[in-house]
Amino acid sequence: MWQASRRVGELLGASRDAVALREAVDIDCARGAAGPHVMMVRHILAGFSPLSTRPMLLGLYLPRIPSIGPIPGYDQLASIEGGTQFLDSAARLASGLLSIVEHLRARLPGYPNLPVPDLCPGSPAVVNDGFFAFERLPWPAAARAQRAGQPGELRTGLVLDVDLAALEERVGEVLEALEGDEGWLKFIRVSSQLGDKELRQLKGICVEFSRRTTEAVVDERAGELLMQRVQYARAVLEEVRSAASGLAGEYLAAFTRVDHLISLVAAVISERVAYHAPVGLPPEAEVSWHRVEGVLETRALVPADPLPFLHPGRLVVYRAEPPAGGAWFLRGTSHTINFELGSQSTLTGEGLEDSAGVFDDLV
């Protein structure tokens, strides 16, 4: 699956739009003097760091960025030399990634109207196109609407200068790998077992969530601050999901798993488009791991000097035997300085199962 996802990302990464994105995002591999629009994009990412976790979706989110104090926003970027061209380029990349993601999601039974509260209008994954859903891939309502009636089409939203036939073949390989994954198979199996009783329960959960996340209710309960509104919606989402029982509860759990799996696939594609190479852990890294609810959680203590500037969302490669060996997605970083022992970085991440050797040649 990860090899197939890598191949999709590297095909998209050969496009002119991807070159423009890498120039702005991949600071450690930048060459020569950066243009004014590139410097401004970097300033925006420094001020709104969560945007860096989903670089291929910058075109979806940059138009939502206001100017706050010394941090520039969309209007300034659009008016600076090269800014409009970058925004157009980023928009095409975002459209391309969303087209691929919805093409994969369209194979899930019930799509585009899956009976889960995560897809309701008040969900953090839907509101503002999932702008604050940093921990997952968004579910933009417009992207799902665009796919309606075109279950077999990948071309919708793809306006990049790539070989479309080759892209369709590689995305087909990703889909084939997904359809053989245990998490995907379980979602298919549980979906087929839902009866009227379970569907009524799921519909009731969605109705309850929607009732508690209308604009008026969120205004009253959370106020105007965006982060408070998102936190409120997340809390309600967790609460209503926990009310599901029996097969309906299994369905929601299976959806969460398969949704996360597709998000990881998209993250691999995005990484290979936005960066020249993943980050390799040095041999002296002290690595540990454990499993939490089926997720491989990893941790590394690394001397800070060999590492470039890192932020959550980057792909890290650790050359070792599984389960810790392979690729991780970075979820958190911290840095300490000891005047006797020197500086040290602590990296925490999520390991990609069966990824050993897939990215080793890049680091």
Residue 147 has pLDDT above 70, yes or no: no
Burial of residue 109 (CB within 10 Å: 0-12, 13-18, 19+) is: exposed
Q: What is the pLDDT of residue 265?
A: 98
Task: Summarize the confidence of residues 110-129 as an average pLDDT.
Answer: 95
pTM of the predicted structure, to 2 decimals: 0.93
Structural contact between residues 23 and 38, judged by C-beta atoms closer than 8 angstroms = yes
Q: What is the pLDDT of residue 88?
A: 96
> In the structure, what pLDDT confidence band is assigned to residue 149 with cuts at 50, 70 and 90?
low
CATH architecture of 279-362: Beta Barrel (2.40)
Residue 29 has pLDDT above 80, yes or no: no
| Six token digits for residue 280 | 């390799």
| Cβ neighbours of residue 23 closer than 8 Å, sequence gap 6 or more | 30, 34, 38
In whole angstroms, give the CA distance from residue 290 to residue 281.
18
For 49-71, b/e burial (b = at least 16 CB within 10 A) is ebbbbbbbbbbbbbeebeeeeee
Task: Summarize the confidence of residues 32-51 as an average pLDDT.
Answer: 88
Domain ranges of the chain: 2-274, 279-362
In whole angstroms, give the CA distance from residue 47 to residue 74.
13
Residue 165 has pLDDT above 60, yes or no: yes
Which of 159, 110, 119 is CA-nearest to residue 141?
119
Burial of residue 322 (CB within 10 Å: 0-12, 13-18, 19+) is: middle
Sheet containing strand 315-318, edge to edge, reads 279-280, 315-318, 326-338, 342-351, 295-303, 286-292
| Cβ neighbours of residue 89 closer than 8 Å, sequence gap 6 or more | 16, 17, 20, 21, 59
Lowest mean pLDDT among 63-72, 208-217, 295-304, 339-348: 339-348
Question: pLDDT tens digits for 176-203?
Answer: 999 999 999 999 999 999 999 999 999 9
Q: What is the pLDDT of residue 34?
A: 80
> In the structure, what pLDDT confidence band is assigned to residue 157 with cuts at 50, 70 and 90?
low
Q: What is the pLDDT of residue 144?
A: 83
In whole angstroms, give the CA distance from residue 56 to residue 147.
20
Residue 156 has pLDDT above 60, yes or no: no
| Cβ neighbours of residue 87 closer than 8 Å, sequence gap 6 or more | 59, 62, 63, 74, 77, 78
| Cβ neighbours of residue 307 closer than 8 Å, sequence gap 6 or more | 279, 282, 345
Task: Summarize the confidence of residues 77-106 as an average pLDDT.
Answer: 95
Q: What is the pLDDT of residue 35?
A: 87
Q: What is the pLDDT of residue 145?
A: 79
Q: What is the 3-state secondary structure (H, E, C) of the chain?
A: CHHHHHHHHHHHCCCHHHHHHHHHHCHHHCCCCCCHHHHHHHHHHHHCHHHHHCHHHHHHHHHHCCCECCECCHHHHHHCCCHHHHHHHHHHHHHHHHHHHHHHHCCCCCCCCCCCHHHCCCCCCCHHHHCCCCCCCCCCHHHHHHHCCCCCCCCCCCCCCCCHHHHHHHHHHHHHHHHCCHHHHHHHHHHHHCCHHHHHHHHHHHHHHHHHCCHHHHHHHHCCCHHHHHHHHHHHHHHHHHCCCHHHHHHHHHHHHHHHHHHHHHHHHHHHHHCCCCEECCCCCEEEEEEECCEEEEEEEEECCCCCCCCCCCEEEECCCCCCCEEEEEEEEEEEEECCCEEEEEEEEEECCCCCCCCHHHC
> In the structure, what pLDDT confidence band is assigned to residue 24 with cuts at 50, 70 and 90?
very high
> In the structure, what pLDDT confidence band is assigned to residue 159 with cuts at 50, 70 and 90?
confident
In whole angstroms, give the CA distance from residue 2 to residue 327.
9
Residue 307 has pLDDT above 70, yes or no: no
Place of tokens 């040290």: 344
Residue 339 has pLDDT above 70, yes or no: yes
Other Cβ atoms less than 10 A from the Cβ of 253: the count is 16
